[in-house]
Every structure is written in C-alpha cells, then in structure tokens.
Chain A
Amino acid sequence: MKDGHAPRRKLLIVIAGLLALLMITPFTSSYVIVLITHALVFAILAMSLDILLGYTGLPSLGQAAYLGMGAYLTAILAARYQFGLDWTFWVVILMGILIGAATAALFGLLAIRAGGVYFLMITLALAMCVWGLAYRWNSLTGGDNGIILPPRPQFGIQLSDDVTFFYLVFGFFVVSLAMLYILVKSPFGRSLEGIRENELRMRILGYNTWLHKYIAFIIAGGFGGLAGVLWAHAHGLVSPEDVTLATSVDALLMVVLGGSGTLVGGAIGAGIVVFLREYLSTLVPWWQYVLGGVYVLTILYLPGGLMSIPERVRGWRASSPGRSLSDLRPTNS
C-alpha cells in the first residue's frame, strides 16, 4: 500500500468482480446458481466473523450459533405460523438480525472477558448450547429432523424462483459488505484494529476496550443472524446440522483461507469451502481428504490466506534482483 491509488484500485477490482458475478451467474446452470447463492450466504457469515477475528483479534469458534438462531427463527415462524412468507419477510429479516445480535449480547457477557485460547473454548461451548437446544427441543425445533420450510416468500416478486432469490441474496451480500467496509474504516473500526494489535496500550490510551469488543461481538452476531434467515430460505431445511461445531469451524477456515482482516477474503474463502462441501462431495467420495488437506495446507503454507498472494508475489519480484547479494549478507529476519 505504498502508492495512494492502491486502495482505490482494490475497490475497483472488488466492484468489477461483484458485477461479473451478478452478470454471469443467471446464465449458468440452475445448480450453479443455487451453489453461488449458498456461497453468498456463508460469505456474509464469514465476513461477520472477520470483524471479530481479522479486525478485533477475537477468534470465535461459535459463529454458527447466530446463524442457527436466525435460521430457526425463520423456520419456526414460517412453518408454524406462516409468518414471513409475504412482505413480512422483511420483518423476519429484521427479527433475525435482532435475535442474532441479542444472542451475541448474551454470549458476549460471558466470552469477552476471556482472552486467547479461553475465548475459543468458551465461544465453542456457548454455540454448543444452541446446538443442544436445536437437537433436543423436539417440540420447538423438530429435533434431529429439523424443520422443512414452506415455499419461499412472495411479495410482488417470486423468491421461489432461484434466480430472483440469488439477486436478493446478492443484494444482501453487497449491502453487508459495504456496511462492514464502512465499519472497519470508521474510527470505531480503527480502534478495533488497535485492540487487535495491542489491547493494553489502547486501554492505557483511555479506550474502553471491553465495550469495543462487546459491540463488535454484537454486530458480528447481527450479521450472523441475517445469514441465518437467508440460509433458512436458501436451503429450505433447518436442522441441528447447521449449528454444529463443523459450521463454526468452517466459517473460521473461510476467513483464514481467504485472508483474515480483508472482508473480501472471507467471501472468497466461503466460495471455496461451499464448493468443496456441496459440489465436490457429490463428485467423489473422498472429498473430506480435500477439505482436511485444505485446512492443513492453508495453515502450514498460507497463513496470510489467498489475499496475501499478490503481496507475496510482489515481495518476490522486489527482492529477486538483489537476491544474490542479500543471500550473502547475514540478516536478522
């Protein structure tokens, strides 16, 4: 980021990528459209996690909880009360965000106090509470079988059409990306980054770091809830499977694979993980080797994620002419 135009150029690349996605997707096969829609839903979840992991330095292992709360709320309202199947869909969206945020507000009280590995463990355990309820509270959640949703809402437009629904999810994705981008560029986002880098220093400077982290936690929960509402309608079935540890861990992988602290990286990671889980699993029986391999290889060889590749390539290019010289010199690094 040495020249001032770099951020603008990155922004243009992202916009071009989004436009390309928007233009090309409707002309692909119906299966690919569904796949991309699922990827976009998880991209929202991954970006919400990136606020915690990439910008605040809080590795949450429980992001599936908020997705689950939003998804179950949507499914229960739709299947039981036929609520949210017309214009009230927008009310459900709002309720989904609120329930995600409220859950995060509750969990945050317990989790934020802890740091590092304890935070990982506690968020994991809290998400398991949600899973336990989803799995066992048969009369409300349908237990292991989950809840099958009625056809998607219609309010002038037919969301049951996969292309229309893709446009809707795409819209939510872009709005989420824009809002989160503004958030991380805001003074509040900058203080989050400060907390990530050195919390003690921020506290000495007079920042209420607990409150900053708590608010970030709630915001992430809200976007997680939004992803949940969209996931319920995208998948048509909500089951405890959606709230398992695997979902939370996958969300973490998405962020790390794409590159944490970049927002867009999480979206790219979501695309790859959804592709592996949903597409590759239909092709080959040994797809879990690929998924597991991606985990291991990312961690060992690509700690900065895919988004760090251009930076690395540039690093190579910059260092290659002087390489023979610098190799001879002893270095500290």
Chain B
Amino acid sequence: MDTKFWVIQAFNGVSYGALLFLLASGLSLIFGVMRIVNLAHGSFFLLGGYVALTVIWTTNSWLLALPVAALVIGVVGLLMERVFLRPLGFDPLRQVLLTVGFAYLFQQAALDIWGGDNLDIVPPGMLKESAVVGGVYFPMYRVFMIGMAVVMGLILWLTMEKTRMGAMIRATVDDSEMARGVGIDTSRVSMFIFALGAFLAALGGVIGGAFLGIYPGLDFVILPIAFAVVIIGGMGSLTGAAVGSLLVGLADNFGKALFPEISYFTIYAPMVLILALKPTGLFGRE
C-alpha cells in the first residue's frame, strides 16, 4: 500500500462520487421542495441508460444520446409529477408507495423493451484512453465524469443562487407554506424540480452506464446509495449532496479495497454516525 494505491483509490472514489452527485442532487432537491421520498429515482437512472442505448443504436452517436436520454426521462418525470403525484397532495406514505408502483412498472417496461441482458454503453474512443501522471494511469472517462459533475454542479449552484427560479426553489425548501403565502407558485416549482431531478438522474444513468453496465435491477442497487448520500449531506441541500457524494464515493472505494467483507457497511456506517450526531444531515436544516 504505497502512495500510488492511495492516489488511485482516492481518484476512483472521487469519480464515483461525481456520478453519485448527478443522481443524488436531484433526489435531494425533490425531497427538499416536495418532501417526497422518490423511490423511482433509481428507475430514472436506469431508464436514462436504456434510452441512451437506443439512441446510440439508431444514430451511432454517444454525444447525442447524452442530452436526448436526459430530456426524454425529464419529460417522463414531469408527466409523473403532474398526472399522479400532484393530485395526491401532501401525504408522504402514499407518495412513497406510488413511486414504488412506478418503479415496478418502469422495471417491467424496461425488461419488455430492452430485455434482461447486461448491456454496456460504449463511450467514444477519445474517452477510453488514460492520462498518465507521475506513473499513475487516470482513465479519461473518469476524468470526464468528474468534469461533468462539476459543470452540472456549477450550473445548479448558479441557478439556485442567482436566478429568480432558484430563489423560488430555496424559498420553497425553507418553508413551502410561507412561499405560497408570498405568491410563489410552489406547484410549478415542484413540477420543475421533479423534472430536473429525473433529468439529472437520467444523465447519471447514461454516464454511469459505461462503467456500471445497464441491467435490470440496477435501479434498486443504485437507489439506496443515493439515499445514503442525501441523508449524509442533508435533504434539500445542494452543497450537502456534493459533500455527501464525495464522502460516499470515497467510503465505497476504500471500503471495497480495504475491507471487502463489510464494504457496503462502510457506506452506511458513516451515515448512521451522522444521523446519531445530526439527524438532519451535515447541511440540512430543521
């Protein structure tokens, strides 16, 4: 276990964290704005990967698959929010069960359309190479993942901090009743956030598909990890999602490398620790 080992593991952890950020930031915002535990969030991730595959098969363009898949799933999310979630009003339990129902429906639909095989999204050749720095190989694809998460994170952060929509979102997270009172259309904010969450998750699915693979059941494999991120970071907080993603990404990688037998435990144990000390997560507010 020399420096090389630590550098590579840390790099892998950070890049995995970057992927988790795409998935978890939407989940966290959805929770913050709508108070919905969206158990169909993993499905958005998986469906994003599948739609991307279809786009790649028909147009042979990976670059096109990225936005198309994210937009298609964004629209799916938007419809789901408008048609089914909105009419339920505020009832966490029923909303959770409804999203589970959708997760099962999506799972079956994906199985019927794309089959049960383990598929791979092949990125363009340029990203398959590695950069060598000081004798350590850094796969370009993982560098790209980190870059993508940083860019998306910046866009999200700027949107949240500098735009009118962002201010409305922050107001809704803090106190949705008050926000409604001062004339913010929280229903519209919810719709936007749910679609955005689906968009980001699908983007994560396309990017993650290249190194996780795309297969039935991935939705429920990735979902709890995203929840760990959200719980650690604090629900509804963008900064929290970023820090949580990094922590979980690193904990997962070092856990698998150092203590393979309890590797999943290394994700969830810090979460339990944080829960015990600060139930709302690192950056969550009461």
The answer to whether A and B assemble together is yes
By a beta-carbon cutoff of 8 Å, the part of chain A in contact with chain B is 53, 59, 61, 109-110, 113-114, 116-118, 120-122, 124-126, 128-129, 131-133, 135-139, 244-246, 249, 252-253, 256, 286, 288-289, 291-296, 298-300, 303
Q: Known contacts A114-B279, A249-B39: does B268 contact A296 (CB below 8 Å)?
A: no
Q: Known contacts A132-B264, A135-B264: does B101 contact A124 (CB below 8 Å)?
A: no
User: How far is it, in angstroms, between the C-alpha of A105 and the C-alpha of B279 when the chains are bound?
Assistant: 17
User: How far is it, in angstroms, between the C-alpha of A116 and the C-alpha of B79 when the chains are bound?
Assistant: 26
Q: Which of A120, A136, A245, A303 contacts B260 (CB 8 A)?
A: A136
Interface SS of B by simple majority: helix
Pair A53/B228 contact, Cβ less than 8 Å: no
Q: How far is the CB of B39 from chain A (nearest CB, A)?
A: 7
Chain B interface residue count, Cβ-Cβ cutoff 8 angstroms: 47
Pair B107/A129 contact, Cβ less than 8 Å: no
B112 lies within 8 A of chain A by Cβ? yes
Set of chain A residues within 8 Å of B268, measured between Cβ atoms: 125-126, 128-129, 132
B144 lies within 8 A of chain A by Cβ? no
Interface residues of B in 245-273 (CB under 8 A from A): 260-265, 267-269, 271-272
Pair A137/B100 contact, Cβ less than 8 Å: no
Q: Which of B84, B101, B228 contacts A125 (CB 8 A)?
A: B228
Interface residues of B in 13-63 (CB under 8 A from A): 31, 35-37, 39
Pair A296/B279 contact, Cβ less than 8 Å: no
Set of chain A residues within 8 Å of B263, measured between Cβ atoms: 132, 136
B7 lies within 8 A of chain A by Cβ? no
User: How far is it, in angstroms, between the C-alpha of A110 and the C-alpha of B279 when the chains are bound?
Assistant: 8
Pair A120/B279 contact, Cβ less than 8 Å: no
Q: Known contacts A136-B265, A299-B88: does B97 contact A249 (CB below 8 Å)?
A: yes
Residue of B nearest to A117 (CB): B92
Set of chain B residues within 8 Å of A133, measured between Cβ atoms: 262, 264-265
Pair B101/A295 contact, Cβ less than 8 Å: yes
Pair A295/B104 contact, Cβ less than 8 Å: yes
Residue of A nearest to B228 (CB): A125
User: How far is it, in angstroms, between the C-alpha of A136 and the C-alpha of B268 when the chains are bound?
Assistant: 13
CB-defined A-B contacts under 8 Å, sample of 28:
A53-B93, A116-B35, A116-B92, A117-B31, A121-B31, A121-B37, A121-B231, A125-B224, A128-B227, A129-B272, A131-B264, A132-B262, A136-B261, A136-B265, A137-B262, A249-B39, A256-B94, A288-B108, A289-B108, A292-B102, A292-B103, A292-B104, A293-B105, A294-B101, A295-B98, A295-B102, A298-B97, A299-B97
Known: A256-B93, A295-B104, A303-B94. 7 other contacts (CB 8 A): A59-B96, A117-B92, A121-B31, A129-B264, A133-B262, A135-B264, A296-B98
B220 lies within 8 A of chain A by Cβ? yes
Set of chain A residues within 8 Å of B96, measured between Cβ atoms: 59, 61, 120, 249, 252
B275 lies within 8 A of chain A by Cβ? yes
B223 lies within 8 A of chain A by Cβ? yes
User: How far is it, in angstroms, between the C-alpha of A282 and the C-alpha of B265 when the chains are bound?
Assistant: 34
Q: How far is the CB of B66 from chain A (nearest CB, A)?
A: 28
Pair A126/B88 contact, Cβ less than 8 Å: no
Pair B100/A253 contact, Cβ less than 8 Å: yes
User: How far is it, in angstroms, between the C-alpha of A135 and the C-alpha of B271 when the chains are bound?
Assistant: 18
Residue of B nearest to A113 (CB): B279
B230 lies within 8 A of chain A by Cβ? yes
Pair A245/B84 contact, Cβ less than 8 Å: no
User: How far is it, in angstroms, between the C-alpha of A298 and the C-alpha of B101 when the chains are bound?
Assistant: 10
B65 lies within 8 A of chain A by Cβ? no
Pair B227/A125 contact, Cβ less than 8 Å: yes
Set of chain A residues within 8 Å of B203, measured between Cβ atoms: none
**4 closest Cβ contacts across the A-B interface?**
A132-B264, A295-B101, A292-B104, A288-B108
Q: Which of B37, B101, B220 has the most CB of A within 10 A?
A: B101
Q: How far is the CB of A147 from chain B (nearest CB, A)?
A: 16
User: How far is it, in angstroms, between the C-alpha of A102 and the C-alpha of B88 when the chains are bound?
Assistant: 36
Residue of B nearest to A294 (CB): B101
Q: Which of A110, A135, A245, A252 has the most CB of B within 10 A?
A: A245
Q: Which of A135, A249, A293 contacts B100 (CB 8 A)?
A: A249
Q: How far is the CB of A299 from chain B (nearest CB, A)?
A: 5
Residue of A nearest to B271 (CB): A125
Instruction: Give per-residue flags for B84-123: 1 if the beta carbon is below 8 A from chain A beta carbons, else 0.
Output: 1001100011101110111111011001100000000000
Q: How far is the CB of B104 from chain A (nearest CB, A)?
A: 3
Q: How far is the CB of A239 from chain B (nearest CB, A)?
A: 14
Q: Which of A129, A137, A245 contacts B261 (CB 8 A)?
A: A137
Q: Known contacts A121-B37, A125-B271, A299-B94: does B260 contact A292 (CB below 8 Å)?
A: no
Set of chain A residues within 8 Å of B276, measured between Cβ atoms: 109-110
Pair B97/A253 contact, Cβ less than 8 Å: yes
Q: Which of A118, A288, A298 contacts B105 (CB 8 A)?
A: A288
Pair A124/B224 contact, Cβ less than 8 Å: yes
Pair B101/A139 contact, Cβ less than 8 Å: no
User: How far is it, in angstroms, between the C-alpha of A135 and the C-alpha of B103 when the chains are bound?
Assistant: 22
Set of chain A residues within 8 Å of B242, measured between Cβ atoms: none
Set of chain B residues within 8 Å of A126, measured between Cβ atoms: 268, 272
Pair A59/B264 contact, Cβ less than 8 Å: no
Residue of A nearest to B264 (CB): A132
Q: Known contacts A110-B272, A303-B94: does B35 contact A117 (CB below 8 Å)?
A: yes
